[in-house]
Amino acid sequence: MNIENNIKLWSSLGMRATFGLIAMELAKYHPNLMITTSDVSTSAGLDRYKKKYPDKFVDVGIAEQNLIGVSAGLSSEGFKVISTTFAPFQTLRCCEQIKVNLGYMKNKICMVGLASGLVLGNLGFTHCCIEDIGSLRSIPNISIVVPSDPFELFKTLNEAIDYKNSVYIRLTAGSNTKIINSKDYKFKIGKAVEILPGEDVAIIGCGNILGNCLEAASILREKKIQCSVVNMHTIKPIDNEKIKDIAKKNKLIVTVEEHNVLGGLGTSVAEVLSNERNNCKLVRVGINDFYSSGGSYEYLKNIYGLSVEKILETVLSNT
Protein backbone atom coordinates (compact mmCIF):
# COMPACT_ATOMS: atom_id res chain seq x y z
CA MET A 1 0.00 0.00 0.00
CA ASN A 2 1.52 3.31 -1.10
CA ILE A 3 1.28 5.37 2.06
CA GLU A 4 1.79 8.86 0.62
CA ASN A 5 -0.83 8.47 -2.12
CA ASN A 6 -3.29 7.12 0.37
CA ILE A 7 -2.71 9.90 2.88
CA LYS A 8 -3.86 12.50 0.37
CA LEU A 9 -6.87 10.49 -0.77
CA TRP A 10 -7.91 9.56 2.74
CA SER A 11 -7.65 13.16 3.83
CA SER A 12 -10.00 14.34 1.11
CA LEU A 13 -12.41 11.52 1.92
CA GLY A 14 -12.41 12.24 5.62
CA MET A 15 -12.37 9.73 8.47
CA ARG A 16 -15.78 8.18 7.86
CA ALA A 17 -15.28 7.24 4.23
CA THR A 18 -11.73 6.14 5.04
CA PHE A 19 -13.17 3.81 7.64
CA GLY A 20 -15.15 2.14 4.86
CA LEU A 21 -11.97 1.65 2.82
CA ILE A 22 -10.04 0.32 5.80
CA ALA A 23 -12.86 -2.13 6.49
CA MET A 24 -12.37 -3.60 3.01
CA GLU A 25 -8.68 -4.14 3.83
CA LEU A 26 -9.35 -5.60 7.27
CA ALA A 27 -11.79 -8.14 5.82
CA LYS A 28 -8.95 -9.58 3.72
CA TYR A 29 -6.74 -10.23 6.75
CA HIS A 30 -9.32 -11.11 9.39
CA PRO A 31 -11.63 -13.90 8.18
CA ASN A 32 -13.74 -13.70 11.31
CA LEU A 33 -14.32 -9.95 11.05
CA MET A 34 -17.88 -8.78 11.67
CA ILE A 35 -18.93 -5.17 11.25
CA THR A 36 -22.16 -4.22 12.99
CA THR A 37 -24.12 -1.04 12.62
CA SER A 38 -27.37 0.75 13.38
CA ASP A 39 -28.59 1.78 9.95
CA VAL A 40 -25.52 3.88 9.13
CA SER A 41 -23.67 1.90 6.49
CA THR A 42 -23.52 4.80 4.02
CA SER A 43 -22.44 7.34 6.63
CA ALA A 44 -19.61 5.05 7.62
CA GLY A 45 -18.43 4.50 4.06
CA LEU A 46 -19.53 0.87 4.31
CA ASP A 47 -21.66 0.51 1.17
CA ARG A 48 -18.93 -1.28 -0.73
CA TYR A 49 -18.06 -3.45 2.23
CA LYS A 50 -21.73 -4.39 2.67
CA LYS A 51 -21.97 -5.49 -0.97
CA LYS A 52 -18.70 -7.41 -1.01
CA TYR A 53 -18.91 -9.03 2.43
CA PRO A 54 -22.61 -9.41 3.32
CA ASP A 55 -21.84 -12.32 5.62
CA LYS A 56 -19.36 -10.16 7.55
CA PHE A 57 -21.92 -7.40 8.08
CA VAL A 58 -24.87 -7.06 10.46
CA ASP A 59 -27.28 -4.12 10.54
CA VAL A 60 -29.64 -4.13 13.52
CA GLY A 61 -31.49 -1.03 12.45
CA ILE A 62 -31.91 2.06 14.64
CA ALA A 63 -31.46 0.16 17.88
CA GLU A 64 -28.18 0.97 19.57
CA GLN A 65 -28.78 -0.97 22.76
CA ASN A 66 -29.42 -4.05 20.69
CA LEU A 67 -26.33 -3.17 18.63
CA ILE A 68 -24.05 -3.56 21.63
CA GLY A 69 -25.76 -6.70 22.90
CA VAL A 70 -25.69 -8.40 19.52
CA SER A 71 -22.07 -7.32 18.97
CA ALA A 72 -21.07 -8.70 22.36
CA GLY A 73 -22.88 -11.95 21.64
CA LEU A 74 -21.05 -12.29 18.32
CA SER A 75 -17.74 -11.49 19.99
CA SER A 76 -18.34 -14.14 22.65
CA GLU A 77 -18.65 -16.62 19.81
CA GLY A 78 -15.26 -15.79 18.31
CA PHE A 79 -15.94 -12.99 15.85
CA LYS A 80 -13.76 -9.85 15.73
CA VAL A 81 -16.42 -7.21 15.93
CA ILE A 82 -16.35 -3.54 14.95
CA SER A 83 -19.56 -1.68 15.66
CA THR A 84 -20.27 1.77 14.31
CA THR A 85 -22.83 4.54 14.34
CA PHE A 86 -22.82 8.25 15.09
CA ALA A 87 -20.84 9.02 18.22
CA PRO A 88 -23.67 10.11 20.56
CA PHE A 89 -25.68 6.98 19.72
CA GLN A 90 -22.64 4.71 19.80
CA THR A 91 -21.76 5.80 23.33
CA LEU A 92 -24.50 7.57 25.26
CA ARG A 93 -27.58 5.76 23.97
CA CYS A 94 -26.20 2.38 24.92
CA CYS A 95 -23.85 3.37 27.71
CA GLU A 96 -25.12 0.80 30.14
CA GLN A 97 -24.89 -1.94 27.54
CA ILE A 98 -21.27 -0.89 27.04
CA LYS A 99 -20.69 -1.05 30.76
CA VAL A 100 -22.24 -4.48 31.26
CA ASN A 101 -21.25 -6.25 28.06
CA LEU A 102 -17.83 -4.76 27.39
CA GLY A 103 -16.63 -3.34 30.69
CA TYR A 104 -18.01 -5.88 33.17
CA MET A 105 -18.13 -9.02 31.03
CA LYS A 106 -15.08 -7.98 28.98
CA ASN A 107 -16.53 -9.08 25.66
CA LYS A 108 -14.15 -7.38 23.28
CA ILE A 109 -15.39 -5.15 20.47
CA CYS A 110 -14.12 -2.02 18.72
CA MET A 111 -16.64 0.80 18.61
CA VAL A 112 -16.20 3.51 15.99
CA GLY A 113 -18.05 6.73 16.86
CA LEU A 114 -18.74 8.67 13.68
CA ALA A 115 -18.67 12.46 13.41
CA SER A 116 -17.90 13.12 17.05
CA GLY A 117 -17.20 16.61 18.32
CA LEU A 118 -18.76 19.57 16.54
CA VAL A 119 -18.65 18.74 12.85
CA LEU A 120 -22.41 18.14 12.52
CA GLY A 121 -23.21 21.38 14.34
CA ASN A 122 -25.66 22.51 11.71
CA LEU A 123 -27.83 19.53 12.65
CA GLY A 124 -27.92 20.68 16.25
CA PHE A 125 -26.38 19.20 19.38
CA THR A 126 -28.33 15.95 19.22
CA HIS A 127 -25.89 15.06 16.45
CA CYS A 128 -22.78 16.53 18.03
CA CYS A 129 -20.89 14.67 20.70
CA ILE A 130 -18.93 16.42 23.44
CA GLU A 131 -19.62 13.86 26.15
CA ASP A 132 -18.41 10.53 24.78
CA ILE A 133 -14.91 10.47 26.23
CA GLY A 134 -16.14 11.59 29.63
CA SER A 135 -18.87 8.98 29.78
CA LEU A 136 -16.74 6.03 28.76
CA ARG A 137 -13.69 6.93 30.84
CA SER A 138 -15.33 5.77 34.00
CA ILE A 139 -16.05 2.30 32.65
CA PRO A 140 -13.19 -0.12 33.34
CA ASN A 141 -11.76 -2.24 30.50
CA ILE A 142 -12.56 0.23 27.72
CA SER A 143 -9.70 2.03 25.94
CA ILE A 144 -10.35 5.32 24.17
CA VAL A 145 -8.45 6.51 21.09
CA VAL A 146 -9.01 9.74 19.15
CA PRO A 147 -7.17 9.49 15.79
CA SER A 148 -5.82 12.81 14.55
CA ASP A 149 -6.35 12.10 10.88
CA PRO A 150 -7.52 9.30 8.57
CA PHE A 151 -4.00 7.86 8.32
CA GLU A 152 -3.93 7.58 12.10
CA LEU A 153 -7.37 5.95 11.96
CA PHE A 154 -5.85 3.31 9.66
CA LYS A 155 -3.11 2.62 12.21
CA THR A 156 -5.57 2.67 15.11
CA LEU A 157 -7.94 0.14 13.60
CA ASN A 158 -5.13 -2.22 12.66
CA GLU A 159 -3.94 -2.29 16.26
CA ALA A 160 -7.34 -2.06 17.93
CA ILE A 161 -8.78 -5.09 16.19
CA ASP A 162 -6.37 -7.34 18.08
CA TYR A 163 -5.96 -5.17 21.17
CA LYS A 164 -6.44 -6.74 24.60
CA ASN A 165 -9.70 -5.00 25.44
CA SER A 166 -12.55 -3.06 23.88
CA VAL A 167 -11.56 0.17 22.17
CA TYR A 168 -13.70 3.21 21.47
CA ILE A 169 -12.40 5.05 18.42
CA ARG A 170 -13.63 8.62 18.16
CA LEU A 171 -13.76 10.10 14.65
CA THR A 172 -13.72 13.87 14.20
CA ALA A 173 -13.97 16.36 11.32
CA GLY A 174 -15.63 15.88 7.94
CA SER A 175 -14.21 15.46 4.45
CA ASN A 176 -11.00 17.32 3.61
CA THR A 177 -9.48 16.80 7.03
CA LYS A 178 -6.20 18.44 7.87
CA ILE A 179 -3.27 16.10 7.35
CA ILE A 180 -1.48 15.74 10.68
CA ASN A 181 0.77 12.84 9.75
CA SER A 182 2.18 13.32 6.26
CA LYS A 183 4.51 10.36 6.33
CA ASP A 184 4.78 7.02 8.06
CA TYR A 185 5.46 7.06 11.79
CA LYS A 186 5.45 4.80 14.80
CA PHE A 187 2.01 4.40 16.33
CA LYS A 188 1.07 2.54 19.47
CA ILE A 189 -2.13 2.73 21.49
CA GLY A 190 -1.24 4.44 24.76
CA LYS A 191 1.84 6.28 23.46
CA ALA A 192 1.52 10.00 22.70
CA VAL A 193 3.38 11.39 19.68
CA GLU A 194 5.30 14.65 19.67
CA ILE A 195 4.44 16.10 16.28
CA LEU A 196 6.27 19.40 16.77
CA PRO A 197 9.16 19.80 19.21
CA GLY A 198 9.55 22.92 21.31
CA GLU A 199 10.05 24.30 24.82
CA ASP A 200 8.36 26.36 27.52
CA VAL A 201 4.87 25.88 26.13
CA ALA A 202 3.23 22.63 25.09
CA ILE A 203 -0.09 22.12 23.38
CA ILE A 204 -1.50 18.65 23.95
CA GLY A 205 -4.38 17.84 21.66
CA CYS A 206 -6.40 14.96 20.27
CA GLY A 207 -8.36 14.53 17.07
CA ASN A 208 -8.24 16.56 13.88
CA ILE A 209 -8.36 19.80 15.90
CA LEU A 210 -4.60 19.24 16.12
CA GLY A 211 -4.56 20.89 12.70
CA ASN A 212 -5.56 24.17 14.36
CA CYS A 213 -3.01 23.53 17.12
CA LEU A 214 -0.22 23.18 14.55
CA GLU A 215 -1.28 26.37 12.80
CA ALA A 216 -1.34 28.25 16.08
CA ALA A 217 2.11 26.85 16.96
CA SER A 218 3.46 28.04 13.63
CA ILE A 219 2.24 31.61 14.33
CA LEU A 220 3.70 31.40 17.83
CA ARG A 221 7.10 30.54 16.36
CA GLU A 222 6.96 33.80 14.40
CA LYS A 223 6.44 35.49 17.74
CA LYS A 224 9.52 33.62 19.00
CA ILE A 225 7.53 31.23 21.19
CA GLN A 226 8.76 27.68 20.52
CA CYS A 227 5.52 25.96 21.33
CA SER A 228 5.56 22.19 21.02
CA VAL A 229 2.56 20.16 19.90
CA VAL A 230 1.81 16.68 21.20
CA ASN A 231 -0.73 14.30 19.73
CA MET A 232 -2.25 12.49 22.69
CA HIS A 233 -4.41 10.17 20.65
CA THR A 234 -5.05 7.73 23.47
CA ILE A 235 -7.08 9.17 26.34
CA LYS A 236 -7.29 5.86 28.11
CA PRO A 237 -4.79 4.44 28.96
CA ILE A 238 -3.30 7.93 29.20
CA ASP A 239 0.45 8.26 28.57
CA ASN A 240 1.39 9.18 32.14
CA GLU A 241 5.12 9.25 31.46
CA LYS A 242 4.80 11.64 28.55
CA ILE A 243 2.65 14.04 30.57
CA LYS A 244 5.06 14.00 33.51
CA ASP A 245 7.92 14.61 31.08
CA ILE A 246 6.10 17.53 29.45
CA ALA A 247 5.32 19.04 32.87
CA LYS A 248 9.02 18.94 33.80
CA LYS A 249 10.11 20.71 30.63
CA ASN A 250 7.37 23.33 30.23
CA LYS A 251 5.83 26.18 32.18
CA LEU A 252 2.48 26.02 30.41
CA ILE A 253 0.43 23.15 29.06
CA VAL A 254 -2.64 23.88 26.99
CA THR A 255 -4.92 20.93 26.23
CA VAL A 256 -7.14 21.21 23.18
CA GLU A 257 -10.08 18.94 22.41
CA GLU A 258 -13.47 18.97 20.70
CA HIS A 259 -15.02 17.75 23.94
CA ASN A 260 -16.27 19.10 27.22
CA VAL A 261 -13.36 20.36 29.34
CA LEU A 262 -14.97 18.27 32.07
CA GLY A 263 -14.12 14.62 31.66
CA GLY A 264 -12.01 14.42 28.51
CA LEU A 265 -8.37 14.90 27.58
CA GLY A 266 -7.86 18.01 29.71
CA THR A 267 -9.28 16.30 32.78
CA SER A 268 -7.11 13.22 32.18
CA VAL A 269 -3.99 15.38 31.97
CA ALA A 270 -5.03 17.27 35.11
CA GLU A 271 -5.39 13.97 36.97
CA VAL A 272 -1.82 12.98 36.11
CA LEU A 273 -0.40 16.40 37.01
CA SER A 274 -2.20 16.48 40.33
CA ASN A 275 -0.15 13.47 41.43
CA GLU A 276 3.15 15.25 40.89
CA ARG A 277 4.92 18.29 42.23
CA ASN A 278 5.45 20.53 39.21
CA ASN A 279 5.77 24.15 38.19
CA CYS A 280 3.48 23.88 35.29
CA LYS A 281 0.19 25.66 34.67
CA LEU A 282 -2.54 23.75 32.89
CA VAL A 283 -5.18 25.45 30.77
CA ARG A 284 -7.95 23.34 29.23
CA VAL A 285 -9.43 24.45 25.92
CA GLY A 286 -12.61 22.82 24.76
CA ILE A 287 -16.33 23.00 25.28
CA ASN A 288 -16.85 24.89 28.52
CA ASP A 289 -19.76 22.79 29.67
CA PHE A 290 -22.55 24.44 27.72
CA TYR A 291 -24.51 23.75 24.54
CA SER A 292 -24.36 26.75 22.24
CA SER A 293 -26.77 27.43 19.43
CA GLY A 294 -26.05 25.30 16.38
CA GLY A 295 -24.10 26.30 13.35
CA SER A 296 -21.29 25.31 11.06
CA TYR A 297 -18.18 23.50 12.26
CA GLU A 298 -16.14 26.71 11.91
CA TYR A 299 -18.75 28.76 13.74
CA LEU A 300 -18.79 26.34 16.66
CA LYS A 301 -15.00 26.00 16.85
CA ASN A 302 -14.86 29.74 17.20
CA ILE A 303 -17.48 29.84 19.96
CA TYR A 304 -15.64 27.21 21.95
CA GLY A 305 -12.16 28.69 21.61
CA LEU A 306 -11.01 26.01 19.20
CA SER A 307 -10.23 28.23 16.20
CA VAL A 308 -6.56 29.00 15.38
CA GLU A 309 -6.97 32.58 16.61
CA LYS A 310 -8.58 31.58 19.88
CA ILE A 311 -6.01 28.87 20.62
CA LEU A 312 -3.30 31.44 19.89
CA GLU A 313 -4.99 33.93 22.22
CA THR A 314 -5.20 31.35 25.00
CA VAL A 315 -1.49 30.54 24.78
CA LEU A 316 -0.46 34.19 24.63
CA SER A 317 -2.64 35.28 27.51
CA ASN A 318 -1.20 32.56 29.73
CA THR A 319 2.47 32.87 28.84
Q: Is residue 156 within the footprint of another protein (CB under 8 A)?
A: no
**H or E stretch at 287:** strand 281-287
- 3-state secondary structure at position 59: strand
Burial of 300 (0-12, 13-18, 19+ CB in 10 A): buried
| Interface map 88-127 toward another protein (x if CB under 8 A) | --------xx--xx--xx----------------------
Which lies closer to another protein via its Cβ, residue 71 or residue 231? 71
Q: Tell me how far apart the alpha carbons of residues 113 and 90 are, in angstroms, rounded to a whole number.
A: 6
Q: Tell me how far apart the alpha carbons of residues 212 and 154 are, in angstroms, rounded to a whole number.
A: 21
Stretch that binds another protein, among 55-63, 226-234, 259-267, 298-306 (CB under 8 A): 55-63
Stretch that binds another protein, among 52-60, 137-145, 195-203, 290-298 (CB under 8 A): 52-60
Which lies closer to another protein via its Cβ, residue 34 or residue 114? 34
Residue selected from 1, 28, 78, 279 as contacting another protein according to rule CB under 8 A: 78
- From the list 109, 64, 58, 56, the residue with the least C-alpha distance to 85 is 64
Contact 119/173 with Cβ under 8 angstroms?
yes
- Neighbouring CB atoms inside 10 A of 274's CB total 9
**Cβ 307 to another protein, closest distance in Å?**
21
Q: Which residues bind another protein (CB under 8 A)?
A: 5, 8-9, 12-13, 17, 20-21, 34, 42, 45, 47-48, 51, 55, 58, 60-61, 63, 65-66, 68-79, 96-97, 100-101, 104-105, 175
